[in-house]
Amino acid sequence: MNAAAPATPDAGAGAVPPLAEAELQAYAAIALSEFFDGHPVATFAIDTGHVITHWNRACEHLLGWSKLAMIGTSNHWQAFYPKQRPVLADLIVAGDDRLLEQHYPGKYQKSALIPGAYEAEDFFPNIGASGHWLHFTAAPLRDQQGRVVGAIETLRDVTERRVAENALRRAHDNLENVVEKRTAQLADMNERLQDDIRQRHLAEAELRRSNLELTELNSQLSRAQQQLVQADKLASIGQLAAGVAHEINNPIGYIFSNFTTLQTYLDQLFEMLDAYQQAEADIGVPATGAALRARREQIDLAFLREDIPSLMAESREGIVRVRHIVQDLKDFSRVDANQDWVWSNLHRGIDSTLNIVGNEVKYKADVVKEYGDIPDIECLPLQINQVVMNLVVNAAHAIGEQRGRITVRTGSDGDNCVWIEVADNGSGISPDTLSRIFDPFFTTKAVGKGTGLGLSLAYGIVQKHGGHIDVETELGKGTCFRVRLPIHQPEAAGEGSP
């Protein structure tokens, strides 16, 4: 019977008996154990029941627990922690990601190389005398059907790297402290430097203030000097002009009176001539009547009767114009004229001034008046007239050979200010001299042609009235001076005198 039970002859050549398969599995397990033991990286494995199946020599060396003490147990936590808790391999077997965040918060991450694997890094004070930093990776173990049958975890000692990093961090912190200290020192030095700069700026500001005061004193001295010179000059001109005006006014007065009387005489004479003409027909001697008619035709009595009244009217108009010019000159230059601040009509003063300078301007330019609607202003009228005269005369001098045009405009800027413009189409002012045109005694005219006081005096008068002068100029196209004057003067100015 025992011999009748041989191996089945129909079995396939490639079939492996159950005993042989168990031997192969045992052989594979032995080979895997030898692989684990020979691997230089500390490695252990657990099954789905969290029982240790492999614990290699590198693991014994790193963690200090022997293979005999660990394999077949679930005490692998003792190698890491003082109290029982899951390690990363246990969490891989459990398959719950929430446990990862619970036990390794912020310390784990998915492996970039192994699907389903995680890696983490932590410090373990129970390993060795002073603890170790370990980098550990845990991955699932799967069978041929892909089912998880356990987990494997590898451990690498990164203590030296961590110590080096900590040393580097301390060095960096020390460096930051040094930098912070140096920065504080630099900030303190910078603050002292800024304080020194502020002190220097204060000193410079004080120096500038002193310089401005000296400049203002110098300007006041220059203005006082120019006003003294101009006052003396105007006094002489005023006395001379007043005397001339008085001398001219006397003969003009009796000439005007004589023209009136002569007009009366001529009217009477013409009446007498009318009577003689009517009596010509009644003269008894024909020769005498013929002689009178011939004489009347010879002298063209009819033309004389028409032309003589025209001549008288034109002569009267000329005398009236002379009287106006003389009166304007007398008012303009009279020493005892009103020198108080008064309310004045600028248009009347401008007309009077243009009448005076007409002989200076009429051969060079046409004067065009473009008056706006402006109120009376509180001013010193004679001084404002002098400003207008200086600007108009300067405009006439700026016009070249060809006849030019001078425009006098007026207008207002709201309720507080009025302005006077004197514009010409002359040669203009060069940029290098524009900044000096108001300086006393500065002139671009030839020697003997100008004193350099006209614009300077105008500038001083306008400043005295609380106004200012603007100038716009372009070479070859002309210049425009705009004088702005306040309508109301402060109370102090209103009570003073020039």
Instruction: Determine contact, residues 151/140, Cβ cutoff 8 Å.
Output: yes
pLDDT tens sequence across 368-422 = 999 999 999 999 888 888 888 889 988 888 888 888 999 999 999 877 899 999 9
Distance between CA atoms of residues 409 and 121, nearest Å: 92
Are domains 18-157 and 339-495 of this chain identical in fold? no
Distance between CA atoms of residues 102 and 96, nearest Å: 10
Residue 27's pLDDT is 53
Minimum mean pLDDT among 177-191, 236-250, 428-442: which range? Answer: 236-250
Regarding predicted confidence, which is higher, 339 or 142? 142
Instruction: Determine contact, residues 80/87, Cβ cutoff 8 Å.
Output: yes
Domain 339-495 has CATH 3.30.70.2740: no
Going from N- to C-terminal start, the domains of the chain cover 18-157, 227-331, 339-495
Full-model pTM: 0.41
Regarding predicted confidence, which is higher, 247 or 327? 327
pLDDT tens sequence across 288-302 = 667 767 776 776 667
Regarding predicted confidence, which is higher, 332 or 409? 409
Give which of 370, 366, 371, 368 is closest to 399, Cα–Cα. Answer: 366
pLDDT tops 70 at residue 240: no
Helix axis angle, 346-356 to 301-333, nearest 10°: 110
- Catalogue the E-assigned strands of 310-375: 342-344, 365-370
Distance between CA atoms of residues 82 and 121, nearest Å: 18
Residue 330 pLDDT class (50, 70, 90 cuts): low
pLDDT tens sequence across 20-56 = 555 555 555 555 666 677 778 899 999 999 999 989 8
Rounded to the nearest 5°, which phi and psi values hold at 403? -65, 135
Helix axis angle, 159-279 to 454-464, nearest 10°: 110
pLDDT tens sequence across 76-116 = 898 899 899 999 999 989 888 788 888 888 888 888 888 88
Residue 339's pLDDT is 64
Overall average pLDDT of the 171-198 stretch: 88
Residue 345 CB contacts under 8 Å (≥ 6 apart), including other chains: 376
pLDDT tens sequence across 186-195 = 888 998 899 8
Residue 336's pLDDT is 45
Residue 176's pLDDT is 86
Overall average pLDDT of the 132-151 stretch: 89
Residue 15's pLDDT is 47
pLDDT tops 80 at residue 6: no
DSSP code per residue over 335-359 = TTS--S-EEE-HHHHHHHHHHHTHH
**CATH number for the domain whose boundaries are 18-157:** 3.30.450.20
Residue 152's pLDDT is 92
Distance between CA atoms of residues 309 and 222, nearest Å: 58
Report the share of the chain in percent with pLDDT over 70.
Answer: 72
DSSP 126: T
